[in-house]
Structure 1
């Protein structure tokens, strides 16, 4: 496995962010500002991957839903939900007696 060569970049940060970074490094939580920034980028990449996976899953579910049968008018769907909710409430009330 070939190791990747690191490249130096320059970034500009607001004073508050820079102070937070310096505080973490000086406390010993990180060995260097570069280490902290690499960790932050790894977390950002993971968040992006998870977001993309969620979006992909939503798209798959939407595609499946679009192919799962005839559409139901919204009013009909809400009436059905309301009916099931009322039946559930009634059933719970009878169980508590």
Structure 2
């Protein structure tokens, strides 16, 4: 029997006013490819970038004034790197 691989999950939420949520997610969809190695995001529920060693989901909260980011990586360093790049992208989007 093969062992199911274990991945590291990290998540954060960043304050984002309701009136900024749509412009923030639009910026992330348009600019995220540069941050995540040319990967085009799936946009069913926010922006999800499926990468070789993990994935990133950035989406506006439906119930609170936040944008949420959740990442999963093969190991802790990969997950932290994905999270850091995503947080940087969200902060850039909030400035627009």
Common fold by TM > 0.5? no
Higher Cα Rg, which structure: 1
Q: Of Structure 1 and Structure 2, which has the larger fraction of its residues in helix?
A: 1
Give the number of the structure with larger relative contact order, counting CA–CA contacts within 8 Å between residues 6 or more apart. Answer: 2
Query: What TM-score range do you get, normalising by the shorter chain?
Result: under 0.3
Q: Given the two structures, how large is their TM-score scaled by the length of structure 1?
A: 0.22
Q: Of Structure 1 and Structure 2, which has the larger fraction of its residues in strand?
A: 2
Q: Given the two structures, how large is their TM-score scaled by the length of structure 2?
A: 0.22
